[in-house]
Amino acid sequence: MIAEIVRVGFPSVGGIHQGRDLARSGAWTPIEVDLRIEGQPSLEGWLRLSAADKDGDLCVDRQRVQLLAEQTNTRRYTLYTLAGHQANFTIELIDDNNNRIQVETRGAASWEIEPAMRPETLHDNDYLVLSVSSETAGKIVDLQDISDIQTSRPVLVAHMAPFDLPTLWLGLEAVDAIVWDDADPADLSIPQTKALIEWTRQGGTLVISSTDRTVELTKSAFAELLPVRLGDVAVVDELPKTLRLMGSSTSFPAPVPVVACTLKEGAVAVVSDPVNGVDVPIVSRHLFGRGRVSFVAAKMRQVFRDENANVKQFFIRVLELREEKSTGGGTMRVLFSEMDKWVGFSQVGALYLALALVFVAGYVLVSTFGSWAFLRQKKWTKHSWSTFAVLAGACCFLSVIGVQSVRGVGRKLLQLSVVDAQAGSSAAQATSYYGLKTSVFGKLDVWLPQDYPREDDPDLINCMLKPMPPIVTVTSSPKSFIDPARYSVKPSAARILDVPIRGTVKQFEGRWSGYLSGRVLADIRLEQGASESNADVRVAANSTITNNLGVDIDHAYLVYSASDTHNRNGWVPIPRLRSQDTYVIPIGRITEGETVMPAQTAYVDKSGVELAYKDWSRKLNLDDILQRLSKQWGLAGGALTGLPEGWRQISRLEAAMFLATMFEEYYPEQRTSGMGQFSEMLFSLAHCRQLEIGGLVDRNNALLIAVTDAPGPAPLCVGSGDDFERVEPTDAYTMYRIRIPVVPPP
């Protein structure tokens, strides 16, 4: 048996990681393995991939292997692992009796299939761009150059041919953006097409360009994704605004084909140029689910022919990357730790400790001072040892009762969900974290269905379920103190089989896509204020939001912006502190069926007098809110205080989720002291990158953020075989983030 690992994750191009594969800690990572047989009988068996979860148990993905002796060709298999510290995993070839089979790998006999080189683990905030084309990556590799423009998140570039893309959308989980130049839908299989579309819906940024295959694109499943309607192809010698976007003022060295297209409703033109006398959006974009899709109406390779073109500047605008954040001297905090703590039964753990301390103190007092005083009063001191024995037995019994009263009988589930939807629609995506606890040791099958209970045959669905990844950075490694057990993951079906739960907690992370039972209705209009500032943009007084979600929501905030993530002129740099032109209106509680008018109290003081722009903007400014949240992060426990009106009681959990949502808008303040220059708190998006959607807020889209203690729409089901039942959460916390299309100022 000849076995070779072809790829682990995504092959980097250019930069310091040239030629190395890239993987992200805690994200599904595709691993491709080639097998062939030489001079041996036919083989039927399994490829088994094992990797440790947060608790030290081994989650296993298996792929069926069938090789015939008379066939000498190589067969390729794809497995999926949760990349951890240094992407540690083990791949073995086993027969149907679970016996390991020795293979030849990298020219030597081995019981394990080892890669030639372990992949590089991405840093927590690294931004991974995947270039997809049948040719080389091209000039997009310049994005990694930090000699001139530095971005808020370090950018790395990988490259793959279209036919190498994963067939499951979760295989792209580690990727932030995909740039598909000269796109041809025929290059992708049906599973690859579905995977790419669902990855975008779940929060990916997809950039497509094409001129030769516009008819095929229009007839394909990608037509829904495009922000434009495609027309005829024209040939031009120059595109002035597009060239200026790249810092070049010359014409193209050779004529460039351009697609004459028109914007769909809700789409915006990042840059437009005249083509045959008509203004055409050369770069356009719109929102798709919680993701973004951009279309470039020309082949990017042809646009980049000018040697003076600044390709890096072009992609910074198209991908909407921000300028560099300050990193000097700050303390990095992992936002995910607050979410992990909430579903980790940390409250119960604290209660265990409190009960233990109370029990110990009570036992000491009763068994010594109390019993001795009682015996002396009755003159029974000669029975002291017998009394102590009886008390010890009674206290042991009470301790068991106390522990069981806290731990409970049966199953307990904590569910933390972040649900994203659009106003007027019930279609939604959700990220959910689960903590499942039992009172005794056992094994369970766990499943995240898309439509329970109507869905009874889990197959290729738009849901994903995985063991909760450990909070591991590139400078730390996971720790475990148990004898590991094996259990199986089925990535394509959102199922995990034979999960060991040892009377303690087992944590999972899920991604769900489906439909809510209700929706939010909204009519939001923005209007220009009376001041001369372009940032004086207000929500119109008659704007309304109606809660028809089926649950009451609390701590509601409306986030809107006077500026765009891209600049309408196309070539002006993206503002670093866009959050200074972005505002947050506290709304408070919105009961089911209630309609609120968020502008009624936003721009007036407590006595109802209208505030000047400088006063209300200071009160509602997003940048100020984010700075205040960060400054209080070091406080121990409890609600965060010292915030503006409407923010006076906010838990650390809610603050973490809000900061993760608006992560791209947060820039640490720089301060100077006798010790030198340092910055305020820095945050890591490790394990919760998918929660960042601040870029969706612009002049055409607002965001309603609210929380509730009702369970989210992603039901965790447990069972055995094909018999599953939904576990009702013992406690739940759900954040709804509703994108609201708005009418911008005239």
Q: Which helix (H) or strand (E) holds 259?
A: strand 256-263
User: Are 139 and 110 members of one domain?
Assistant: no
What CATH number has the domain bearing residue 197? 3.40.50.880
* H-helix segments, 184-304: 190-201, 214-219, 240-245, 300-303
CA 697/CA 372 separation, integer angstroms: 70
Q: Give 741's DSSP letter.
A: E
Q: Which are the contacts of 607, defined by CB distance < 8 A and separation ≥ 6? A: none
Indicate the pairing of strand 676-679 with strand 670-673: antiparallel
User: Are 147 and 61 members of one domain?
Assistant: no
The pLDDT assigned to 365 comes to 65
Q: Is residue 31 part of a domain?
A: yes
Number of structural domains in the chain: 4
pLDDT category, 481, cuts 50, 70, 90?
very low
Q: Is residue 356 part of a domain?
A: yes
CA 371/CA 669 separation, integer angstroms: 61
pLDDT > 60? residue 457: no
* Boundary (domain end) residue, out of 104, 124, 144: 124
Q: Is residue 17 part of a domain?
A: yes
User: Are 93 and 218 members of one domain?
Assistant: no
Highest mean pLDDT among 84-93, 296-305, 392-401, 449-458: 296-305
User: Are 548 and 648 members of one domain?
Assistant: yes
In three-state form (DSSP H/G/I as H, E/B as E, the rest C), the secondary structure along 166-188 is CCCHHHHCCCCEEEECCCCHHHC
Q: Give 84's DSSP letter.
A: -
Better pLDDT: 161 or 345: 161
Orientation angle between helical segments 652-661 and 622-631, nearest 10 degrees:
130
User: Are 664 and 628 members of one domain?
Assistant: yes
The pLDDT assigned to 724 comes to 87
CA 279/CA 298 separation, integer angstroms: 15
Q: Is residue 357 part of a domain?
A: yes
- 225-251 tens-digit pLDDT: 999 999 999 999 888 888 887 777 677
CA 664/CA 666 separation, integer angstroms: 6
Highest mean pLDDT among 177-186, 267-276, 303-312, 445-454: 177-186
The pLDDT assigned to 471 comes to 64
CA 624/CA 635 separation, integer angstroms: 18
Is there a contact between 546 and 595 (Cβ–Cβ < 8 Å)? yes
CA 299/CA 210 separation, integer angstroms: 6
Nearest alpha carbon to residue 234 among 256, 254, 253, 210: 256
Half-sphere exposure (Cβ direction) of 116: Cα atoms closer than 13 Å: 11
Q: Which residue has the tokens 């790395």?
A: 156
* Boundary (domain end) residue, out of 101, 124, 147: 124
Q: Is residue 281 part of a domain?
A: yes
pLDDT > 60? residue 458: no
* Boundary (domain end) residue, out of 124, 147, 181: 124
CA dist 520 → 137, 203, 590 (Å): 43, 21, 11
Average pLDDT value for the chain: 84
pLDDT category, 606, cuts 50, 70, 90?
confident
- 389-432 tens-digit pLDDT: 777 777 777 766 665 555 555 678 999 999 999 999 999 999 99
Q: If 0-12 CB within 10 Å is exposed, 13-18 middle and 19+ buried, where does residue 724 land?
A: buried
Structural domain boundaries enclosing 391: 348-396
User: Are 274 and 356 members of one domain?
Assistant: no
With b meaning 16 or more CB within 10 Å and e meaning fewer, what string describes 610-643? eeebeebbebbbbbbbbbbbbebbeeeeeebeeb
The pLDDT assigned to 568 comes to 47
What CATH number has the domain bearing residue 82? 2.60.40
CA 526/CA 536 separation, integer angstroms: 10
Contacts of residues 361-368 at CB distance under 8 Å and 24 or more positions apart, as own/partner, are: 363/391, 363/395, 366/391, 366/395, 367/391, 367/392, 367/395
Handedness of CA 138, 144, 150, 151 (dihedral sign): positive
User: Are 85 and 194 members of one domain?
Assistant: no
The pLDDT assigned to 328 comes to 55
Question: What's the whole-number mean pLDDT along residues 421-449?
Answer: 90
First-residue to last-residue Cα distance in the chain: 69
User: Are 168 and 78 members of one domain?
Assistant: no
CA 104/CA 379 separation, integer angstroms: 83
User: Are 243 and 368 members of one domain?
Assistant: no
pLDDT > 60? residue 570: no
- 81-102 tens-digit pLDDT: 887 655 578 899 999 898 999 9
CA 93/CA 216 separation, integer angstroms: 41
Is there a contact between 270 and 316 (Cβ–Cβ < 8 Å)? no
Nearest alpha carbon to residue 226 among 213, 243, 238: 213
CA 590/CA 597 separation, integer angstroms: 11
- How is residue 184 written in tokens? 């041809």
- 689-733 tens-digit pLDDT: 899 998 889 889 999 999 999 998 998 999 877 788 899 999 999
Half-sphere exposure (Cβ direction) of 518: Cα atoms closer than 13 Å: 14
Sheet arrangement for strand 90-95: 90-95, 43-52, 58-67, 486-490, 495-502, 441-447, 717-720, 723-726
Q: Is residue 433 part of a domain?
A: no
pLDDT category, 480, cuts 50, 70, 90?
very low
User: Are 294 and 368 members of one domain?
Assistant: no
Q: Is residue 425 part of a domain?
A: no
User: Are 543 and 689 members of one domain?
Assistant: yes
CA 248/CA 139 separation, integer angstroms: 15
Coil vs helix vs strand at 681: coil
Whats the size of the chain, residue-wise? 746
User: Are 223 and 180 members of one domain?
Assistant: yes
- How is residue 188 written in tokens? 């992708």
- How is residue 236 written in tokens? 């031009």
- How is residue 167 written in tokens? 């067939």
Is there a contact between 196 and 160 (Cβ–Cβ < 8 Å)? no
CA 686/CA 336 separation, integer angstroms: 7
- 88-140 tens-digit pLDDT: 788 999 998 989 999 999 889 999 998 888 888 888 789 999 999 988 888 89
Question: What's the whole-number mean pLDDT along residues 300-309?
Answer: 80
- How is residue 726 written in tokens? 């939904």
Instruction: Please give the single-letter amino acid code of residue 401.
Output: I
Q: Residue 660: beta bridge partners?
A: none
Q: Is residue 175 part of a domain?
A: yes
